[in-house]
Chains A and B, each alone.
Chain A
């Protein structure tokens, strides 16, 4: 099985062997191009190495607010004009902010790529942060926070769990920002952020699609090449001090079902070649929750029926620090304590009994198949390159990373399961569901014609 799949992957990669291509402009902007001629379209992304982890207390959420303001006009474009131009080119555009980075993208007919570069280059250098526009947009962001966090019980649990797990490290702050920080944010805060981080030498461009690399490099030079390089602020590591005892918290919110989430501090991948444990932790997450036949769904949901859903997650490649999270919603008649014990027992079982060869092979097969399936989507390919670069993994090393993951042994998985899941580095968060006020939601009035 393994060998056949490797052949498939090699064949899949065949068409793209020469890809991607890279050029670094004189101002430090890196341009990465993946030619993919399957359809006459292209995705153009600009990534900035500035995410919410680069914020400071009092202005949490400013990275994301600035992302919104990037659509609100430049010296030559009126507010909203950016979206209009993209739409006129037959395109779609959006942006997203994470703990580690902020990224902007347009999906367009490939022949319109130059216009998109002109637009992105313009707002990289010439953003106007009008206080009136800011006053409107900050209200939109507060609505976004209400929608995504305030009224979403599991998101609320996650936010408070991160804030408890990390006391010093900036991952303790939510990407969207604390409501009170949003209420007190000013256009000047956004302007400071923009001046600090939006420089070509803190950014890179990813293009995937029906394009010729030399033409893309020429366009990039033309549009981005003029923007001057700027000195970037020093980044302090802000490492989290060692956790020396279990932390527990409980969150009350209107809900029916409880929920429990366990987060352990575990290593993050810093040296692709020397470290082994992060790859083993990735495989452990796969053994627990990498596919439908993985252990949590099989053992806790389908067999013991202690949970209606259960999952595990770990990301070895982040700029900050890593958590290994297992979580779930108890089944009717089961409590969070019972589910917590069951989740911990699954990790203990890997630590005590190890994992089977075939079981490990299944997880690796998902990794390989996912790489082939990814080639069906230009956006997925651009995201892979962009995300890797954001956390300091060069696109050339993406294959190395996959090979390393495939080289993980059952013994290594067992070893990390033994080593990293003690109580002292654990933060447990529980959703304590609160009934809706008497009468709701059944009570409703119908007012007839109005």
Chain B
């Protein structure tokens, strides 16, 4: 019996959300007395993969077939299902991501496993019956959900667990499943991706701005502050609707939902649709010149002030300490 963890590597580095998934898988494995196998499909060095042992992996299955690295949901589902079968996995743990979101339901059907997405804590386990806490009502509540069946699939919301680095080395081996052609029905014609910056869903800190910034030409202030903090940049819905910023930066009800350690909102009034995307941030700082902005009620720290005055000063003050 084993716990299978699916981990993603971006530009040679294991994504933070994937390290959390490995740590989560290791904690579950301890509860059910199982081994932890980690499946990696992306390019990564053997050293990087072996180091997953520090987070609790016993072994790493590395898929090195470039045809299988296509990031297609059906292909990924087929690879993960094959690995789960090879490892007799009683649970597959995956970090929430655009690829995992698309693959998880397919694995659920193929591996005849019960799927729980958006899981925020470690499960309570009584034999085959597990219960997990899931984020529901778009961050407004949690549901404790009982999962039946001998096999489970859990997708983990960011910050569900804090990975701690121990010692240990995982044994790395090549995994070469045979994947049926039917899984390649889609064609990805091209990928347009920002380069160099921190990916928003992965970020520990996020600096976000709204209409209060007055125009896209003023985003340099946001980018400077983000750079100082090692943060990703985000925006409110009106800002993405007006094309000041791309949609993949829009956080909120109909955008991306994030749960960073620190969320700084500048010139965002805090409509309920916006809060839905950011309310699970650990610490929220709101900077707004309108003392009546509803966002202050949902924040931990607030400054009533003009963004153009506050931001440069905040940036200077932060530079001195981070």
Q: Do A and B bind?
A: no
Binding site for A on B (CB under 8 A): none
Binding site for B on A (CB under 8 A): none
